[in-house]
Structure 1
Amino acid sequence: MVSSALDHNKPRVLVSGLSNGLGGTEIVVGRYIKALSSYATFEFLATSDLSDVAFVHEMNSEIHICPDIDRPIKRFEYLDHLFQDEPNRYQAVWCNFNHLLYADVLRAAQRANVSVRIAHSRNSRFLGGLPTQVISRFNRHVALRNSNVRLACSKEAGSYFWGDNFQILPNALDFNDMEYDPVSRIVIREEFGLSPKDFLIGTVGRLTSQKNHIFLLKIMKELLTVKSNCKLMIVGDGPLHKSLQESAATLGISSSVLFAGERKDIKDILSSFDCFVFPSTFEGLGVAAIEAQLNGLPCVCSFGVPDAADISDKFLKCSFNVAEWIDAIISMNRPNKLAGGRLFMTSTSKQVNCCQSSLVDNPLVSVIVPMYNAEKTIQKTLNSLQCQSMSNIEIIIVDDGSTDRGAELVMAIAEGDNRIKLISQNNSGVCVARNRGVDEASGDWVAFVDADDILPINAVRLLLESSDGCSLVVGALLNEHCDNSSKAISIGWETACSLSLAFWDNVNKVPFPSFANGVAFRSVCGKIFNKSLFRNGSLKFEDGIRFGEDALFMVDAYRLAENVKVVDSAVYCYVNNSDSVTRNTDISAIEGVDNLLIKLYELCLVNPDLNELYKQSAVREVLSLIRNLARFESNQLYMPVSNMVCQPYFSYLMEGFASHRYSRRLISEVKNRITIRLLLARRVMAAIGFTKFVYGVC
């Protein structure tokens, strides 16, 4: 017996009928107990320590190991002491039955006057051989006489065990636990040496005669003659494991049959399948088939699976005829579905519905995502786009010559979502990638998202709802830090506009805060642009600019927009990523900033009315570069920075820039190459914060 600290203020329930493994009963009971653990204390009665039933040990529950029925006297004495030594110890017993060998638990509970005695049938026939069948039939009257609550997982299971007097308790399933995962599909298939072209059929369940795996092997032998790229994966363990492997060898199909053993990553396993097969001779409900449908899989099942397991339009039942199964499997394939949608069951009909808003009432929004070596982050980014509450979007991924598996992951995700479009190009930089995305966009509106950031679920809807009568909508941003904290970057209406520029004076436009102070205004993210702004190349990203490209683009966007509206709600989440281009500093980064300064200098000469904006952008990018350099112990890169800020074009950009004295001092230190004073200036920057340091908000 394993002891644990018990909450004596909560009712105690004794649970029996679990075996030491990851069977369907153990999984479903575990879900209920986890959900109810705050309302009751659960103890377990079993013939083993349940060492492989993880949730029992995670809950630190008390386990009572009772002698098996092959020691009837010892078993009777144990149960008698368990219930009689501490009267009123249990307020309920919950007996889960796949057969009725252990109906004596209910009898012992009745003798101890336990108030609630639940008999719960988990199958539509008694499991086991002839002795088990005989004893179970004899014990049926024991279970009926000593229980006062009778439950079943399906109509078939209840009728077989209890006759007419029972209630159906639906098995607990969490849709999110079984949702299709395209990345897991790739990982699992690589684990088992499968190619993307292999058609993988699979099944999940204990290797017992009930699951009828031998029939599945016969199907596989014939199936390979008409579909040579087929593979079969059998997930689970049990007494027939060795004999099934021998049967596969005898049939000459060992190379096409994968025995995966017992697995805990069932969602990932299901994601690797193309079709789920379930030839059981009988089932209580067929939870494995329901989980497969929740994963988006088509299912071919036997008539031994109850009708209650049929929850989608990709569910077929077949008789035990090999040819019939082959025809059904070939006709089925994982359907293209909107990833991020949810599967829902209705009581009146079977259907699969996507939880998406109408595609008709809203204009199309093209979301452009430039991607370069974003294998680690692109799935999270795409998931946030797929789950948008306003689903009428197209997602354009522009792969800018990535050398990792990012494009492969996108293609896998796109298999389940026809809104995703992948475009590949040679490495040309983020500006070229974004321009390419705009050229390919079909939407009425355009949005930009970086491949390591995410959108809140209502982002597109909030922006689009404010789009009437304007050509640019601006939203607030959220900054997600590595410690999972989030810092809002608000619009800040209390900051009055400090720029006396002609195009801000339009009465139809909102009063903007300082362009340099408002990162929400400088970034291209967290906004939607009317496609008309891009007509005839009037608005585009400057090719060859690696740093500060957003600020240059946004100056033109505000100038061209006939009207601008602002949503003071977070519609974009920056994720601080140490691998981001803007956070990595090397000689190429310094060259990139240098190119930007030259471009800003040229723009100042062409558009003198915008000088203040361009100058603010120039100083900001240099100070941002120095901030990134401050993360390195070596001062090796300070020399090229010093040379850059000594150039005449930078001196021009510094003229008349009313910034905080510390930022001017830091620029001076870089120019003069005074290392000690530079280090002190770096400490000042770290102490007062970068924004305050640059803009004097202290």
Structure 2
Amino acid sequence: MNNEVVRVLVTSPLGVGGVTNMMIHIQEHLDRSKINFDYLVFHDRHEPMEDRVLSLGSKKYVASADNVKFRPFRRIWRINEIRKVCKRNHIKILHYNADCAADMTNIIGAKLGGVQYITIHSHNAGFGAAGNGIRFISKILKPLIPLFCDNFYGCSELAARFLFPRSIIESGRCSVLPNGIDLEKYDYNEAVRRKIRKKLNLEGKYVVGHAGRFSDQKNHSFLLDIFQAVHRKNPNTVLLLFGVGELQEAMKNKARTLGIEDAVIFYGASNEMNKMWQAMDVFVMPSLHEGLPVTGVEAQASGLPCVFSDAITKEVGLTSNTEFLSLQEKPDVWAEHVLKYMNVQRKSERKILEQAGYDIQQTADTLAQLYLNVAEKL
């Protein structure tokens, strides 16, 4: 492999999401003449970020079980699909971005396909609304993680403790890999702010922002309740939502039911989130659980005040204008905290995030060195 580009297969949906954005940003900061990423996805469809990674020299591999009608069998079927993909394409190195220990079924498939080195990277800190089946499978498979994986990362200490067995934690075999971003790209920019606000017809508005997949974990239903209270207290407010997902239509219906549909913008996916953050005035994230949300880092990098749920690790609180509220608090309480940032002066937070280790180049250099060394040994 010494005379060839080292290729690392990454598991990441190529939709709009924090983990996907992070992996692509890392890839853009690699010396791609030496090392590059390919992507393994589990649904056979065109994704919003697909063309972008293909332009970076990536290959997209599909291991889909969508044709299996009986949902409980899909996980089993996918093991063989992953095995075939890895064997057919001679995959040697896998970087697996994991939600929970149930993902070990996919990792086993990769091992059966001949993968020799596996990094498991924890991005979650709880099960949230996951069913009993996922919880049971995770409990059974968690002890297998040290047997099948070679390297252990958590996006936060909380995420590491959630996924990895105690033996991994206590032996010090795992480490925190910060969810780095391009700090220069996300830095606060007043000119961009004016341009995007004019484009979205947000001039003179107090913009409450959120970016995240429309899934149970992100708790959009409660976010809409919060915004209804915000809008009742101050009608000159707008909720700006970025993301797609299975609950998007349900949330549009709820906005209509709450009578706030004219004040809620369902923007969908965007390839220019660094610019979109500039248009907001406050970022609100009432997630049921998170590892360490990349979107929270991006929002703070753009100088935004942030209101997080206390189910999210406090490690994401990097700047002075961040706070954590209980999900047990009523929407009116959240609304008061959201509105208190109306007169906050935005400023660059780049130096603070850089000192905290959230510069994407640092993250990219760490992974590049790891996999170049691994490839040499293989």
Q: TM bucket by the smaller chain?
A: 0.7 to 0.9
Give yes or no for the alignment of 1:21 onto 2:15.
yes
Q: What is the DSSP-based 3-state SS (H/G/I as helix, E as strand, rest coil) of the residue aligned with 2:350?
A: coil
Deviation digits for residues 32-61 of structure 1 (CA, Å, limit 9, x no counterpart): 223333332433322235642244211232
State the partner residue of 1:328.
337
- Following TM superposition, the consecutive aligned residue runs of length 4 or more in structure 1 with deviations greater than 6 angstroms are none
Q: What is the DSSP-based 3-state SS (H/G/I as helix, E as strand, rest coil) of the residue aligned with 1:304?
A: coil
- The 5 A counterparts of 1:534-613 are none
Q: What is the DSSP-based 3-state SS (H/G/I as helix, E as strand, rest coil) of the residue aligned with 2:4?
A: coil
State the partner residue of 2:218.
211
* Aligned counterparts of 1:83 and 1:252: Cα–Cα separation in 2: 50
Q: Give the TM-score taking structure 2 as reference length.
A: 0.80
Which residue among 295, 300, 315 is the counterpart of 1:293?
A: 300
State the partner residue of 1:148.
150
The structural deviation recorded for 1:66 is 1.6
* Aligned counterparts of 2:267 and 2:352: Cα–Cα separation in 1: 30
Letter in 2 for 1:250: T
* Aligned counterparts of 1:342 and 1:76: Cα–Cα separation in 2: 42
Letter in 2 for 1:169: L
Larger Rg: 1
Give yes or no for the alignment of 1:224 onto 2:220.
no
Unpaired runs of 5+ residues, structure 1, are 1-5, 349-698
The structural deviation recorded for 1:228 is 2.3
Give yes or no for the alignment of 1:64 onto 2:61.
yes
- The 5 A counterparts of 1:164-563 are 164=166, 165=168, 166-196=174-204, 198-320=205-327, 321=329, 322-333=331-342, 335-336=344-345, 342-345=350-353
State the partner residue of 2:119.
118
Report the CA distance shift for 1:267/1:63 in structure 2 as closer, same or farther (over 3 A). Answer: closer
The structural deviation recorded for 1:175 is 0.9
Deviation digits for residues 378-427 of structure 1 (CA, Å, limit 9, x no counterpart): xxxxxxxxxxxxxxxxxxxxxxxxxxxxxxxxxxxxxxxxxxxxxxxxxx
The structural deviation recorded for 1:297 is 1.0
Aligned 8 A contact 2:79 2:108 in 1: no
Report the CA distance shift for 1:48/1:226 in structure 2 as closer, same or farther (over 3 A). Answer: closer
Aligned 8 A contact 2:142 2:165 in 1: no
Aligned 8 A contact 1:274 1:334 in 2: no
Q: What is the DSSP-based 3-state SS (H/G/I as helix, E as strand, rest coil) of the residue aligned with 2:21?
A: helix
* Aligned counterparts of 1:72 and 1:284: Cα–Cα separation in 2: 23
Which residue among 116, 126, 136 is the counterpart of 1:134?
A: 136
State the partner residue of 1:369.
none
Letter in 1 for 2:334: W
Question: By percentage of residues, which structure has more helix?
Answer: 2
The structural deviation recorded for 1:252 is 1.4
Deviation digits for residues 259-285 of structure 1 (CA, Å, limit 9, x no counterpart): 111112212221111111111111110
Report the CA distance shift for 1:182/1:334 in structure 2 as closer, same or farther (over 3 A). Answer: farther
* Aligned counterparts of 2:100 and 2:165: Cα–Cα separation in 1: 15
Report the CA distance shift for 1:183/1:253 in structure 2 as closer, same or farther (over 3 A). Answer: same
Higher relative contact order (CA 8 A, sep 6+): 2
The structural deviation recorded for 1:345 is 3.2
Deviation digits for residues 636-670 of structure 1 (CA, Å, limit 9, x no counterpart): xxxxxxxxxxxxxxxxxxxxxxxxxxxxxxxxxxx
Deviation digits for residues 427-451 of structure 1 (CA, Å, limit 9, x no counterpart): xxxxxxxxxxxxxxxxxxxxxxxxx
Letter in 2 for 1:328: H
The structural deviation recorded for 1:159 is 0.4
Deviation digits for residues 201-237 of structure 1 (CA, Å, limit 9, x no counterpart): 1111111111111112112222223222122111111
* Aligned counterparts of 2:244 and 2:36: Cα–Cα separation in 1: 31
May I ask how many residue pairs the two structures share in their alignment? 339
Report the CA distance shift for 1:155/1:114 in structure 2 as closer, same or farther (over 3 A). Answer: same
Report the CA distance shift for 1:227/1:108 in structure 2 as closer, same or farther (over 3 A). Answer: closer
Aligned 8 A contact 2:282 2:304 in 1: yes
The structural deviation recorded for 1:141 is 3.0
Report the CA distance shift for 1:226/1:209 in structure 2 as closer, same or farther (over 3 A). Answer: same
Letter in 2 for 1:93: L
Q: What is the DSSP-based 3-state SS (H/G/I as helix, E as strand, rest coil) of the residue aligned with 1:242?
A: helix
Q: What is the DSSP-based 3-state SS (H/G/I as helix, E as strand, rest coil) of the residue aligned with 2:153?
A: strand
Report the CA distance shift for 1:118/1:277 in structure 2 as closer, same or farther (over 3 A). Answer: same
The structural deviation recorded for 1:302 is 0.8
Aligned 8 A contact 1:151 1:168 in 2: yes
* Aligned counterparts of 1:111 and 1:298: Cα–Cα separation in 2: 47
State the partner residue of 1:53.
49
Letter in 2 for 1:52: P
State the partner residue of 1:107.
108
The structural deviation recorded for 1:63 is 2.4
Letter in 2 for 1:103: M
Q: What is the DSSP-based 3-state SS (H/G/I as helix, E as strand, rest coil) of the residue aligned with 2:207?
A: strand
* Aligned counterparts of 1:189 and 1:119: Cα–Cα separation in 2: 40
* Aligned counterparts of 2:76 and 2:294: Cα–Cα separation in 1: 37
The structural deviation recorded for 1:112 is 6.0
Aligned 8 A contact 1:20 1:48 in 2: no
Q: What is the DSSP-based 3-state SS (H/G/I as helix, E as strand, rest coil) of the residue aligned with 2:233?
A: coil
Deviation digits for residues 155-180 of structure 1 (CA, Å, limit 9, x no counterpart): 11110110442211111211112122
Aligned 8 A contact 2:127 2:289 in 1: no
* Aligned counterparts of 1:41 and 1:270: Cα–Cα separation in 2: 28
Aligned 8 A contact 1:201 1:231 in 2: yes
State the partner residue of 1:404.
none
The structural deviation recorded for 1:113 is 6.0
Letter in 2 for 1:24: G
The structural deviation recorded for 1:128 is 6.0
Q: What is the DSSP-based 3-state SS (H/G/I as helix, E as strand, rest coil) of the residue aligned with 1:281?
A: coil
Aligned 8 A contact 1:11 1:91 in 2: no
* Aligned counterparts of 1:172 and 1:162: Cα–Cα separation in 2: 22
Q: In percent, how many aligned pairs have the same letter?
A: 25
* Aligned counterparts of 2:61 and 2:35: Cα–Cα separation in 1: 17
Letter in 2 for 1:176: E
Report the CA distance shift for 1:82/1:220 in structure 2 as closer, same or farther (over 3 A). Answer: closer
Report the CA distance shift for 1:116/1:199 in structure 2 as closer, same or farther (over 3 A). Answer: same
* Aligned counterparts of 1:176 and 1:249: Cα–Cα separation in 2: 38
The structural deviation recorded for 1:111 is 4.7
* Aligned counterparts of 2:313 and 2:76: Cα–Cα separation in 1: 39
